[in-house]
Amino acid sequence: MIIVDWIHAVAGFFILISLALGFDSAANPLFVSRYWLLLTAFVGANLLQFGFTKFCPLATILKKLGVPESR
């Protein structure tokens, strides 16, 4: 996997986990707190700012870990 693939996978994972932990419903056994929805908002804001600035902190970390940028 390349950096872009990792960014999409990590962002999707965080969004799904924070929605599961933050969605309040009688049928949701994973509910912890509505504050988990702030993580969803943070990920969305980070993706939005990346669209304008082309800067992503996760990409910087992945580059330092040696993840390839292209196939």
The span from the CA of 71 to the CA of 55, in Å, is: 20
Whether pLDDT at 4 is above 90:
yes
Q: Which residues of 23-34 are buried (b: 16+ CB within 10 A; e: fewer)?
A: eeeeeeeeeeee
> pTM of the prediction?
0.85
**Domain segments of the chain: what residues?**
3-64
The pLDDT tens digits of the residues spanning 30-52 come to 889 999 999 999 999 999 999 99
Return mean pLDDT, the chain. 93
56: phi then psi, degrees, rounded to nearest 5 = -135, 120
